Amino acid sequence: MKVAIIVGTRPEIIKMAPLVRACAQRGLPYLLLHTGQHYSYEMDGVFFEELGLPQPHTNLAVGSGTQAYQIGAIITGITPIFEREKPDWVMVEGDTNSVLAAGLAAHKLGIKVGHVEAGLRSYDRKMPEEINRILTDGLADHLYAPTEHSKRILLGEQVSAERIFVTGNTVVDELMLQRPRAEARETGKRFGVEPRRYALATVHRAENTDDETRLRGIVRGLSEAAAATQLQVLCAVHPRTSARLEQMGLSWGAGVRALPPLPYLDFLGLHAQAAMTLSDSGGLQEEACCLGVPCVTLRDNTERPESVEAGGNILVGADPAAIVAGAKQMLGRTGWANPFGDGRAAHHILDAATGARA
């Protein structure tokens, strides 16, 4: 059996790394194909090095552009590779344009598609990610749901039970492997902060960065939350966010310190020792929940409700007062159970794909 593993963005590199290692451990032939949706060294190249991954067999280098351009370019570039290499499975993860495009190209060629992290729903169809994940779930042959909650969503959408496998989330696999290395770097010392005396923030989603009112609210809210909690807020700034702030003539307020895009291990080391996470990232909601770091989510909805139900996450949107209230509520919270799996999700996925599990 040959497996084609698709990555295109930094979260996909992190979450598919365990699948690459599991294939290597089992002696399963695989192809690691990079669409190049994230294309700078800081945003993707350093991740291959840090995680000890081989260089991709192919990088399509599609770069930035409209959704239509990216999807079209990926389908055009990856189809002849699938035709030449003839993989038995194409594995995609998450909800990006790379996921939908690679899954669609494989499906049209009659190649089986496995969707890692299937069944997530925000029920906000204005989010491009929501459309991507719904369509990918629709065409996938195997849907690797990270939790029983995700499985119930898929069953409620009339997906046949035979296509669904509850595997846990591969992010747990990677966190368990990399956390000791990350904390050993003592990244906080380089930034002059002490463990549990700072909050870590990120802002990158289009619904926040493209909406001036929401972005202004978040910038103000992070500064006011820093004052209310007496925590310095370290904000790892996405290039999209930096560009928008510059266009708006807006800068981070008192108590907020902007960081450049960080290598994975540096970011993980900071995250593991933070007092709190404030973010609009879906993956960081999972990561914070697994690390035992309380999370304040700068969105009105989430496709990771398990983290909220477990007690490790709260939704606050973009209103400054709500951000401050949420930060005060979550500060010091501990003691929830990780709902995202046992750290062997990649092996559970390969068991299903190889027929080792009925």
Mean pLDDT of 322-339: 97
Among the listed residues 90, 163, 324, the one whose alpha carbon sits nearest the alpha carbon of residue 229:
324
Mean pLDDT of 292-302: 97
Q: Is residue 40 scored above 70 in pLDDT?
A: no
CATH number listed for the domain at residues 3-169+341-354: 3.40.50.2000
What pLDDT digit, counting tens, does each position of 64-122 carry? 889 999 999 999 999 999 999 999 999 999 999 999 999 999 999 999 999 999 999 99
CATH number listed for the domain at residues 184-330: 3.40.50.2000
Mean pLDDT of 299-323: 97
Structure-token pair, residue 137: 């779930």
Structure-token pair, residue 300: 């009105």
Instruction: Give me the residues paired with residue 165 across strands.
Output: 144
Q: What is the mean pLDDT of the chain?
A: 94
Structure-token pair, residue 183: 């904390």
Q: What is the largest CA-CA distance in the chain?
A: 58
What pLDDT digit, counting tens, does each position of 252-290 carry? 999 999 998 788 899 999 999 999 999 999 999 999 999
204 in active site: yes
Decide: residue 45, CB within 10 A, 0-12 exposed, 13-18 middle, 19+ buried.
Answer: middle
Judge whether 3-169+341-354 and 184-330 match in fold.
yes
Distance of alpha carbon 17 from alpha carbon 11, whole angstroms: 10
What pLDDT digit, counting tens, does each position of 215-231 carry? 999 999 999 999 999 99
Q: Is residue 358 scored above 50 in pLDDT?
A: no
What pLDDT digit, counting tens, does each position of 205-219 carry? 888 999 999 999 999
Distance of alpha carbon 284 from alpha carbon 279, whole angstroms: 7
The domain segmentation of the chain, as residue ranges, is: 3-169+341-354, 184-330
Could you give the percent of the chain with pLDDT greater than 70? 97
3-state secondary structure 165-193: EECCCHHHHHHHHHHHHHHHCCHHHHCCC
Catalytic residue among 204, 238, 271, 347: 204
For 213, the enclosing helix (H) or strand (E) is helix 212-229
Mean pLDDT of 29-40: 85
Distance of alpha carbon 38 from alpha carbon 94, whole angstroms: 15
- In 10 A of CB 210, how many CB atoms? 11
- Identify the pLDDT of residue 225: 98
For 33, the enclosing helix (H) or strand (E) is strand 30-34
